[in-house]
Amino acid sequence: MTVLDFQRIGLDDDPPALVDYRWAWDEQRRIHAEVAAGRRAGTVLLLEHESVYTAGRRTLAHERPFDGTPVIDVDRGGKITWHGPGQLVGYPIIRLPAGVYVVDYVRRLEEALIRAVQGYGLPASRVMGRSGVWLPADATRPERKLVAIGIRYAHGATLHGFALNVLPNEAAFGRIVPCGIADAGVSSLAEELADPPTVAQAARDVVPHLDDLLGRFVPFDAD
Higher pLDDT, 77 or 42: 42
Is 9 part of a structural domain of the chain? yes
Domain that holds residue 137: 5-215
Is 222 part of a structural domain of the chain? no
User: pLDDT tens for residues 110-168?
Assistant: 999 999 999 999 999 998 877 899 999 888 888 888 999 989 999 999 999 999 999 97
Residue 180 has pLDDT above 50, yes or no: no
- In angstroms, the Cα distances linking 213 to 2, 4, 47, 101, 110 are 12, 11, 20, 14, 10
Share of the chain above pLDDT 70, in %: 91
**Segment 203-216 mean pLDDT:** 97
Is 221 part of a structural domain of the chain? no
The residue among 54, 55, 46 whose CA lies nearest residue 17 is 46
The residue among 5, 9, 8 whose CA lies nearest residue 39 is 5
Write down the pTM of the prediction: 0.90
Residue 78 has pLDDT above 80, yes or no: no
**Segment 203-222 mean pLDDT:** 94
User: pLDDT tens for residues 31-70?
Assistant: 999 999 999 999 999 999 998 888 887 777 777 776 667 7
CATH number of the structural domain spanning residue 32: 3.30.930.10
Number of domains in the chain: 1
Residues designated as active site: 179
Query: 172: pLDDT confidence band, cut at 50, 70 and 90?
Result: low
